[in-house]
Structure 1
């Protein structure tokens, strides 16, 4: 995270939170978040400039994007209880929950403040931001209740949950452009494809972990796990037995290393990578079709969210 962006986030906190202890706690959470490879605010800025935006308030808007995502990250960790090293997991949970409510309501309030203080400028609509966040909350509920029984269910939950964060970052960028560009549908498609790509990468990593964040320990039904549960050969029945309740957590942990070895040999990794590649191809096609006002910023945006565009291979002599 850029230093200027973190400074903007701290200024927003100073405006919203006069209580010294609460202010210090939120600043601690911001610094903790800054230690990650967080690109949410940068994504908002790139989208804004890609569509020809020149708002003098874009840095503050990008900081609001980061604060909303921070609030949702804290809530996610409180619910999953699997990220113990984070500062919001080391303080009393009631204080972290209070931080979530304060950050969400405060950021929406800041958008309203910007609109009232600068009536001639264009800003993202607080109502639309609230709806995007609510969709993410709905997706999180489905994730928490393990409302996933098929690949289609998995994609649906991911697009309701993880993809909404990308949609938020994109909307915060183009929603600040005047006149508002007619790109909402294309940007939502892009968020849907790239959100699945990102989630598949996370889920594949988490199913292969040896620590508490391993998805199998929490009986999560991610795409890699669904592949494993669909194995009809029963060459390694321990995973299905654990999910069905035939064995408990302690018994399953005795087979932890064997489970990871089985996963690596099962074809699960290859299957997940194929699905990821398909969604990445769809994202690249959608990206190509987006009408950007500034091609240079579009390429920067592509590099940020996908990577540089690969040059087309020249035909060989044998095929020309």
Structure 2
């Protein structure tokens, strides 16, 4: 990724910012999704999958940065510590570069078009998140599918498309469910620290569930999340107990289980062989 930035970005000051952004990246799960789907469908061109995987990680990084800038979250990130206009221009360069790099993996017009379709779908999901559009569980799941699901489907579907030349609807379908699981995990982690989602009363699945106030614990938690001085004084064990009493943890686990079952059911239709299916599942669900 760093080498690509060095080759493609001629403005040295801009390159320095982008290299610093990349330096902060310590996971490459989306590249792994692309690679393992490519191999599962018998892809052979090592250089092509390297371009795709690198471009995908640059794209994911750009979307993470956009998300932080839009939510004014994650204050410790390097892009949150610099002038916002510089950060915005730099991340736009990163996003544009990511598209260019991914498109170099294949010269087929349909390949580039699908990449853009996924990116645009995720941007529209992000818009719904920013304006807090979801008012129901169904609407929230649709928003998650668009925002997180599309970004998760991109490496899986494009890895297969690079290997076979074809869009695979089953792969797309279960990949969206994987994105929902990932978002539920993020929402769960967010329950244990006072983040902007609760301060701004964002309609996450957890918050929508709490707002129904099925019991006293739900009402107590809603009040707690709006009182920073009280929230910081409660320990993790006590908070987890309260979340269990409210039914939030059980609810999120059920939602995850439903998506996981859909993934397994749809993967069984791929007819890749048990070894390849198990390998893919182990990469997807860690």
Q: Does 1:253 align with 2:223?
A: no
2:117 equivalent in structure 1: 131
What is the CA–CA distance in structure 1 between the aligned matches of 2:148 and 2:252, rounded to whole Å? 17
Where 1:99 maps in the other structure, the secondary structure is helix
After TM superposition, give the deviation of residue 171 of structure 1 in Å.
2.7
What is the CA–CA distance in structure 1 between the aligned matches of 2:279 and 2:120, rounded to whole Å? 30
1:272 equivalent in structure 2: 252
Count of residues paired in the alignment: 280
Which aligned pairs between 1:1-320 and structure 2 lie closer than 5 A?
9-33=1-25, 35=26, 37-55=27-45, 56-113=47-104, 125-178=111-164, 180-181=165-166, 183=168, 185-209=169-193, 211=194, 213=195, 215-233=197-215, 237=219, 252-256=227-231, 257=233, 260=239, 262-292=242-272, 296-307=275-286
Using the TM superposition, name which of 197-206 and 134-143 deviates more: 197-206
What is the CA–CA distance in structure 2 between the aligned matches of 1:296 and 1:283, rounded to whole Å? 16
After TM superposition, give the deviation of residue 218 of structure 1 in Å.
2.5
CA contact (8 A) 2:217 2:246 kept: no
CA contact (8 A) 2:33 2:156 kept: yes
The two structures have a TM-score, normalised by structure 2, of: 0.88
Q: Deviations over 1:110-146 (max 9, x none)?
A: 345555xxx6xx6872222111101000000000111
Q: Deviations over 1:137-169 (max 9, x none)?
A: 000000011111111011100000000111111
What is the CA–CA distance in structure 1 between the aligned matches of 2:205 and 2:196, rounded to whole Å? 14
CA contact (8 A) 2:144 2:179 kept: yes
After TM superposition, give the deviation of residue 29 of structure 1 in Å.
0.8
What is the CA–CA distance in structure 2 between the aligned matches of 1:232 and 1:27, rounded to whole Å? 49
After TM superposition, give the deviation of residue 73 of structure 1 in Å.
0.7
Larger Rg, first or second structure (1 or 2): 1
CA contact (8 A) 2:51 2:101 kept: no
Over 3 Å counting, the alpha-carbon distance change for 1:113 and 1:270 in structure 2 is closer
Using the TM superposition, name which of 233-242 and 167-176 deviates more: 233-242
Please list every run of 5 or more consecutive structure 2 residues that lacks an aligned counterpart in the other structure. Answer: none
Higher helix share: 2
Over 3 Å counting, the alpha-carbon distance change for 1:214 and 1:269 in structure 2 is farther
